[in-house]
Amino acid sequence: MKRNFFLALIFVVLFTTCTGRKTKEDMDTMNKVVASATPSDVFLLVGTYTSEGGSQGIYVYKFDTETGKSDSLSLAETVNPSYLVVSTDEKFVYAVSENGDGNSTATAFAFDKGNGVLKLLNSSLTEGSGPCYIEVDKAGKSVLTANYGGGSISVFQVKDDGTLSSAEPVINFKGSGPDSSRQKRSHLHSIRFSPDERFLFAADLGTDKIYRYNAIGSVFKGQPVLSQESVKEFSAPAGTGPRHFDFHPGGKYFYLLGELSGDVIVYDYDEGDLKEKQVIATDSVEGLRGSADIHVSPDGKFLYASNRLKADGIAIFSIDPENGTLTKAGYQPTGRHPRNFVITPNGKLLLVASRDDNRIQVFRIDNKTGLLTDTGQGISISKPVCLKFAAM
C-alpha cells in the first residue's frame, strides 16, 4: 500500500510539472521552429542533474548537424534524468531518475515530433538505487536499467501505449574488486544490446566483469527479454572498473572503457564472445580514475573516450582497419567533467556535455585525422550529463 502511494505521488508531481502548461503562443513558436527544419536538422535531447538546482529535467533542441547551431524547443520536468534512451520508432523516450533507495525510477515519455515536446506517461521504481544507464530493445517491448548503487539490472515490460510495468525481474549481482574504495561490491554501470540484438552485455565497475546474456526477444506479451540462465562472464584486467563500451560498426570489435584504470580494452568480438587483444591508456596522466564515455565514429575510423576529474578532455584514437587495434591520434581538452558525449549521425560533429561548466561544447571532426575543433556553437545549460539524437 505504501509503495503504491509513493508511485502515485511521483506521478502526480511529475504530471503537474511537466510540459503541459505551455501557452498557445509557445506551442505555435515550437511548431514553426520544427516546421522550418532542414535535412541536416535533428532533435537533440539533453538529460541533466536537477538535484543541485538550476536544471529542471530533459531539454529538447533543434540541432543542425552541419553547422552546429541549435534552437531551444521544450522542457520536460523530471528529477535527475541522468541517462536517456529513444525507442527505435522514436515515439517514446525513457529516462532514469538517478536517486537513492526507494525513490529511483525509470520514466516513460511520449515524444511528439511535430513540436518537439515530451509528454509524461508514467514512472516505475527500479528497485535498485542509482540507476545510471537505460536501454530499450529494438522491438520496443522491454526497457532495462543498470543500477549502480543497487548492483543490479531492472527489467520492465513496455505496454502498447509506451508505459512501463513494474520492475520484474530485478537481477542482482555480487562480488568485489581490488580497489578498496570503489570496488567493495557490484556496481552495474551500463547495459547494451549487441548490434544484432542477440545478446545483452552489462559492465560491472565493482567486479571488473562484463556479463553477457542471450536476448530472447519479445515474441509474445510478458515474455522475458533475457535468459537469466544463459549468463556468461568475461573478466577485464584487475582494477579496470568497467564503465561504458561500444561496438565497432563492422561488427568485429568491442571496446571497453575502464573508469578506474583510464584504459581502453580492445576485444575481438565473435558471435557474442570476447577475446582481449589490446590495452591502451586514454592519457599520460596517472591516477585519472574518472574515465567516463566511449564512442566509435560512424565510419569506424576513430574512437573517442572522455576523461574527468583530471585532464578533462577527449582522448582520440585511430582504428586499424585490419585488426581494430588503436593508435593514439590526439587529445582534446574540454570543459570540466565531460561525463557524456555524442557523435552526430553524419559523423561531422562531436558534442560534449561538460557538466561542471554548465555547457554543451560542439566540436567539428576532421574526417582524415579524427582531431577536433571547437565550433563556438556551444549551448549553455545547467548540469548536462546525457545527449541523445532523434530524427526530425
> pTM (2 decimals)?
0.93
CB 104 within 8 Å of CB 81? no
φ/ψ of residue 213, rounded to 5:
-120, 150
Does residue 157 sit in helix, strand or coil? strand
Q: Kindly report which listed range (13-17, 103-107, 132-136) carries the lowest average pLDDT score.
A: 13-17
CATH number at residue 227: 2.130.10.10
pLDDT at 18 over 80: no
Helices (H) and strands (E) in the chain, counts: 2, 29
Mean pLDDT computed over 305-312: 93
Cell of 170: 530485478
Residue 28 located in a structural domain:
no
CB 350 within 8 Å of CB 11? no
Percent with pLDDT over 70 in the chain: 92
Q: What angle do CA 20, 102, 125 make, to 5 degrees?
A: 50
Residue 85 located in a structural domain:
no
Residue type at 67 in one-letter notation: T
Instruction: Give the model's pLDDT for residue 37.
Output: 87
Residue 141 located in a structural domain:
yes
pLDDT tens digits, 348-380 = 999 999 999 999 999 999 999 999 999 999 999
CB 378 within 8 Å of CB 359? yes
pLDDT tens digits, 196-238 = 999 999 999 999 999 999 998 655 566 678 889 999 999 999 9
Mean pLDDT computed over 161-178: 97
Q: Give the number of residues written for the chain.
A: 392
In the chain, how many domains are there?
Answer: 1
Cell of 324: 581494430
> Which letter does DSSP use for residue 334 in this model?
-
Q: How does DSSP assign 267-301, residue by residue?
A: EEEETTEEEEEEEEES-S-TT---EEEEEE-TTSS
Instruction: Give the model's pLDDT for residue 11.
Output: 44
Residue 155 located in a structural domain:
yes
Residue 19 located in a structural domain:
no
CB 392 within 8 Å of CB 41? yes
CB 277 within 8 Å of CB 325? yes
Mean pLDDT computed over 183-190: 98
Alpha helices, DSSP H, located in the chain: 2-17, 24-35
Residue 22 located in a structural domain:
no
Cell of 342: 555524442
Q: Could you give the C-alpha distances from 85 to 96, 227, 286, in angstroms and in order?
A: 9, 22, 33
Q: Please, what is the average pLDDT of the chain?
A: 92
pLDDT tens digits, 233-279 = 999 999 999 999 999 999 999 999 999 999 999 999 999 999 999 99
Residue 67 located in a structural domain:
no
Q: What angle do CA 306, 85, 162 make, to 5 degrees?
A: 170
Domain with 243, as residue range(s), is: 96-379
Residue 50 located in a structural domain:
no
Q: How does DSSP assign 201-242, residue by residue?
A: EEEETTTTEEEEEEE---SSTT--SEEEEEEEEEEPPTT--E
